[in-house]
């Protein structure tokens, strides 16, 4: 075949990672992106001189992306400078108490002892068991699942004993911690999948293990910077990335797409990769009658993740005592989760997450100011949901009031610029079906071969990458999906994938050793002395406590 043509719909992290690998293999790659920027949900939202991550803020398990970079001859760590955070995050409990999560396990055991002496030792056991569990599960997360027969492959058998399908994540964690607060501190990570720990499979106990063992990173400039750099590198390799170019449909010969249509042009293709939100893209771009398995009715009957209510605030001054990441857990967490996943009502005492990124990365705000990113898990859109102006206003007020629970009493007075994103906006502006920000839910009934396959089963020469396919949502597994997809697609186009296999499994290629990794935690006593290479935020000396300093980007709230 002459140089094969691959068209990728969407420049999200999955689409960009696939583009880099396909171009490296020798394909002629075009990426069509509807938005004026790359990165999809992992992009940078700019506002009056402030930069916010639109979606992901936790950069976890960099190993997968480091291997992908190495496979195309690049070094992730020099292309995208990152800081390993310590503390990784603070967990504040509405029921009382808090935990500053650190990879220093002895220090963690000390904090655990202060919350519940009976639970000391639980973390050490948890780490040991999950180290084994991840080692057994890695082959499953790295392989394609095209049918039930794939589950029976020999190398997967040792993992099955760890699957424990009858157990939820919460039940699993209760075998390590008797204090419900500690159970939550090691299971709230199921929020990355948009699921409650009481419904999420026990398999996902590996998520918080990954944080403690492999670190929580902040890419300088934010996670959106990772997407930008990937796009730049892809362009260097010859990928044609076309922004502001929404795909409107495909031309088919039988079940095989021959071309991709946009408002202005038609792009011929030998293979098509869909990175756009799976449910939304299928329903809007592929005729229903061509989809035998994933027809509209079936998609509508699937379970979807929760959504998020977002506030991106540019504020005067800097909250120096607030860590980079803080997760606040509602006093009645089970009720909070029930409202989101079962009742589909807006939580009245919601859990929430705040990113105070300028304690680590002052480049994100104008001098004298800082950014606050606030995420509140809420139900995805359902027939009874409304996000009219009154609901938006009410939820904004409730969210700002909630911040008092983590000591932010004066946020309203400090706001200089503000953007709000509701589930309705995720659907209408960002093409996310039902505003379900973390895609199809991750119950065992929607995983492995039961999730839409990387080599899409209903069509020919069509592949999926991103959170809607195997292995699932969350950056490390989204990057992994691009490797699985490329290994399925490229050989069928006569291209070699040896370069992908050659770097797979080489632990943390080029990663800084732990003590070479600059740490955040500017506001954290002893650890501040370890910061070393980090600069104090430009305004920090005058911006602590109530002494807000004037900020030049004086926009009022939207
Ligand atoms: C609020 C939030 C917080 C998150 N936090 C984390 C976190 O901390 N850590 C983590 O690992 N993960 C997190 N995630 C989950 C996940 O990592 C991101 O959502 C990720 O960006 C999904 O990547 P993707 O490859 O599936 O594609 P997306 O990011 O969804 O990108 C798809 C792209 O396709 C484009 N597109 C859609 N339709 C068309 C069309 N018709 N034509 C052309 N282009 C089109 C879109 O514009 C978009 O750019 C978070 C997600 C959200 C929303």
- For residue 248, give the ligand 1 atom closest to its CA: 41
Query: How far apart are alpha carbons 316 and 545 in whole angstroms?
Result: 11
Residue 522's pLDDT band (boundaries 50, 70, 90)? very low
Residue 147's pLDDT band (boundaries 50, 70, 90)? confident
Average pLDDT along the chain: 88
Out of 8, 9, 11, 12, mutate this one to test ligand 1's pocket (max ligand atoms within 8 Å of CB): namely 12
Mean pLDDT of 351-359: 97
Residue 136's pLDDT band (boundaries 50, 70, 90)? confident
- For residue 14, give the ligand 1 atom closest to its CA: 25
Distance linking the first and last C-alpha atoms of the chain: 54
CA of 543 to the centre of ligand 1 (A): 34
CA of 13 to the centre of ligand 1 (A): 7
Cα dihedral 115, 119, 121, 124, rounded to 10, equals: -80
Q: What are 445's two structure tokens?
A: 């009934």
As beta bridge partners, residue 251 has 259
- In terms of Cβ atoms closer than 10 Å to its own Cβ (0-12, 13-18, 19+), residue 242 is middle
Residue 503 has pLDDT above 60, yes or no: yes
Q: What are 183's two structure tokens?
A: 């159970």
- For residue 437, give the ligand 1 atom closest to its CA: 53
User: For position 329, what pLDDT does the model report?
Assistant: 96
Q: How many secondary structure helices (H) and strands (E) does the chain include? A: 19, 20
Residue 166's pLDDT band (boundaries 50, 70, 90)? confident
CA of 475 to the centre of ligand 1 (A): 9
Residue 135 has pLDDT above 60, yes or no: yes
Query: How far apart are alpha carbons 180 and 240 in whole angstroms?
Result: 51
3-state class (DSSP) for residue 55: coil
From residue 318, how far is each of 12, 290, 386, 544, 547 by CA, in Å?
Answer: 31, 54, 34, 6, 9
Other beta carbons within 10 angstroms of residue 407's beta carbon come to 11
- DSSP conformation letters of 121-169: THHHHHHHHHHHHHHHHHHHHHS---SGGGGG-GGGHHHHHHH-TT-BH
Asked if 510 and 66 count as a contact pair (C-beta separation under 8 A), the reply is: yes
User: For position 514, what pLDDT does the model report?
Assistant: 45
pLDDT tens figures, 215-252: 999 999 999 999 999 999 999 999 999 999 999 999 99
pLDDT tens figures, 65-111: 999 999 999 999 999 999 999 999 999 999 999 999 999 999 999 99
Asked if 13 and 282 count as a contact pair (C-beta separation under 8 A), the reply is: no
Q: Kindly provide the b/e burial profile for residues 141-160, where b requires at least 16 CB atoms within 10 angstroms of the residue's own CB.
A: bbbbbeeeebeeeeebeebe
CA of 56 to the centre of ligand 1 (A): 9
Mean pLDDT of 311-323: 98
Q: Whose CA is nearest to atom 37 of ligand 1?
A: 276
Does the CB atom of residue 375 touch ligand 1 within 6 A?
Answer: yes
Residue 528's pLDDT band (boundaries 50, 70, 90)? very low
Query: How far apart are alpha carbons 356 and 362 in whole angstroms?
Result: 10
Query: How far apart are alpha carbons 207 and 204 in whole angstroms?
Result: 6
**110-119, 251-260, 286-295, 514-523, range with the lowest pLDDT:** 514-523
3-state class (DSSP) for residue 177: coil
- Closest CA relative to residue 185, chosen from 116, 98, 117, 109: 98
Report the percent of the chain where pLDDT is more than 90.
Answer: 76
- For residue 57, give the ligand 1 atom closest to its CA: 8
Asked if 454 and 144 count as a contact pair (C-beta separation under 8 A), the reply is: yes
User: For position 554, what pLDDT does the model report?
Assistant: 36
Does the CB atom of residue 205 touch ligand 1 within 6 A?
Answer: no
What are the helix (H) ranges across 151-244?
A: 157-163, 169-174, 180-185, 206-214, 223-236
Does the CB atom of residue 53 touch ligand 1 within 6 A?
Answer: no
Query: How far apart are alpha carbons 163 and 165 in whole angstroms?
Result: 6
Please give the distance of CA 549 from its chain centroid, rounded to a whole number. 33
Residue 288 has pLDDT above 60, yes or no: yes
User: For position 8, what pLDDT does the model report?
Assistant: 98
DSSP E strands in 228-306: the ranges are 240-242, 247-253, 256-262, 266-268, 271-274
pLDDT tens figures, 437-494: 999 988 778 888 889 999 999 999 999 999 999 888 899 999 999 999 999 999 999 9
Does the CB atom of residue 219 touch ligand 1 within 6 A?
Answer: no
Residue 51's pLDDT band (boundaries 50, 70, 90)? very high
Mean pLDDT of 378-401: 95
* pTM for the model: 0.91
Does the CB atom of residue 475 touch ligand 1 within 6 A?
Answer: yes
Q: Whose CA is nearest to atom 27 of ligand 1?
A: 12
Does the CB atom of residue 437 touch ligand 1 within 6 A?
Answer: yes
The Cα angle at residue 263 between residues 261 and 264, in degrees rounded to 5: 90
Q: Whose CA is nearest to atom 1 of ligand 1?
A: 55
CA of 12 to the centre of ligand 1 (A): 6
Residue 121 has pLDDT above 90, yes or no: yes
Residue 299 has pLDDT above 80, yes or no: yes
Q: In what order do the strands lie in the sheet with 266-268?
A: 247-253, 256-262, 266-268
Does the CB atom of residue 14 touch ligand 1 within 6 A?
Answer: yes
Sign of the alpha-carbon dihedral angle for 127, 133, 134, 135: positive
User: For position 441, what pLDDT does the model report?
Assistant: 84
Out of 42, 192, 282, mutate this one to test ligand 1's pocket (max ligand atoms within 8 Å of CB): namely 42
CA of 422 to the centre of ligand 1 (A): 15
Residue 524 has pLDDT above 60, yes or no: no
Does the CB atom of residue 34 touch ligand 1 within 6 A?
Answer: yes
Strand 266-268 relative to strand 256-262, pairing: antiparallel
User: For position 446, what pLDDT does the model report?
Assistant: 83
Out of 8, 13, 40, 263, mutate this one to test ligand 1's pocket (max ligand atoms within 8 Å of CB): namely 40
Mean pLDDT of 490-513: 81
CA of 523 to the centre of ligand 1 (A): 31
- For residue 476, give the ligand 1 atom closest to its CA: 11
């Amino acid at each position: 075949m002459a140089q094969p043509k691959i068209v990728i719909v969407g420049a999200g992290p999955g689409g960009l990672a696939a583009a880099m690998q396909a171009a490296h293999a020798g394909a002629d790659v075009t990426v069509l992106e509807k938005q004026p920027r790359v990165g999809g949900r992992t992009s940078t939202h700019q506002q009056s001189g402030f930069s916010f991550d639109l979606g992901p803020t936790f950069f976890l398990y960099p190993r997968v992306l480091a291997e992908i970079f190495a496979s195309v001859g690049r070094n992730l760590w020099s292309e995208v400078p990152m800081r390993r955070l310590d503390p990784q995050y603070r967990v504040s409990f509405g029921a009382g108490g808090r935990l500053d999560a650190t990879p220093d396990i002895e220090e963690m055991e000390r904090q655990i002892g202060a919350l519940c002496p009976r639970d000391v030792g639980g973390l050490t056991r948890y780490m040991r068991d999950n180290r084994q569990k991840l080692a057994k599960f890695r082959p499953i997360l790295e392989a394609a699942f095209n049918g039930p027969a794939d589950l029976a492959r020999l190398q997967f058998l040792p993992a099955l004993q760890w699957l424990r399908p009858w157990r939820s994540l919460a039940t699993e964690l209760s075998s390590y911690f008797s204090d419900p607060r500690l159970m939550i501190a090691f299971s709230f990570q199921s929020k990355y999948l948009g699921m409650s720990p009481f419904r999420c499979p026990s398999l996902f106990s590996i998520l918080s293990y990954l944080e403690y063992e492999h670190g929580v990173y902040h890419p300088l400039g934010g996670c959106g910077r990772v997407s930008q750099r990937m796009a730049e590198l892809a362009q260097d390799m010859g990928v044609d990335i076309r922004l502001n170019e929404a795909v409107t449909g495909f031309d088919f010969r039988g079940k095989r797409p021959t071309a991709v249509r946009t408002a202005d042009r038609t792009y011929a293709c030998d293979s098509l990769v869909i990175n756009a939100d799976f449910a939304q893209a299928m329903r809007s771009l592929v005729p229903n009658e061509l989809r035998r398995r994933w027809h509209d009715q079936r998609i509508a009957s699937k379970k979807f993740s929760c959504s998020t209510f977002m506030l991106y605030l540019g504020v005067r001054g800097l909250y120096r005592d607030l860590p980079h990441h803080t997760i606040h857990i509602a006093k009645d967490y089970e009720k909070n989760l029930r409202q989101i996943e079962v009742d589909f009502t807006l939580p009245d005492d919601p859990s929430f997450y705040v990113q105070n990124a300028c304690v680590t990365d002052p480049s994100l705000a104008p001098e004298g100011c800082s950014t606050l990113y606030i995420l509140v898990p809420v139900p995805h859109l359902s027939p009874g949901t409304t996000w009219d102006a009154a609901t938006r206003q009410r939820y904004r007020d409730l969210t700002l009031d909630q911040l008092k629970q983590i000591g932010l009493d004066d946020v309203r007075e400090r706001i200089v610029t503000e953007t709000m994103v509701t589930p309705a906006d995720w659907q209408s502006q960002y093409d996310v079906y039902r505003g379900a920000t973390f895609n199809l839910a991750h119950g065992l009934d929607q995983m492995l071969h039961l999730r839409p396959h990387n080599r899409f089963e209903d069509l020919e020469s069509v592949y999926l990458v991103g959170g809607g396919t195997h292995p699932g949502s969350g950056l490390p597994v989204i990057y992994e999906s691009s490797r699985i997809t490329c290994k399925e697609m490229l050989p069928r186009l006569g291209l070699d994938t040896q370069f992908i296999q050659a770097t797979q499994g080489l632990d943390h290629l080029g990663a800084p050793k732990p003590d070479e990794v600059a740490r955040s935690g500017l506001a954290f006593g002893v650890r501040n002395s370890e910061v070393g290479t980090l600069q104090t935020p430009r305004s920090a000396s005058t911006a602590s406590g109530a002494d807000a300093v004037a900020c030049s980007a004086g926009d009022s709230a939207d």
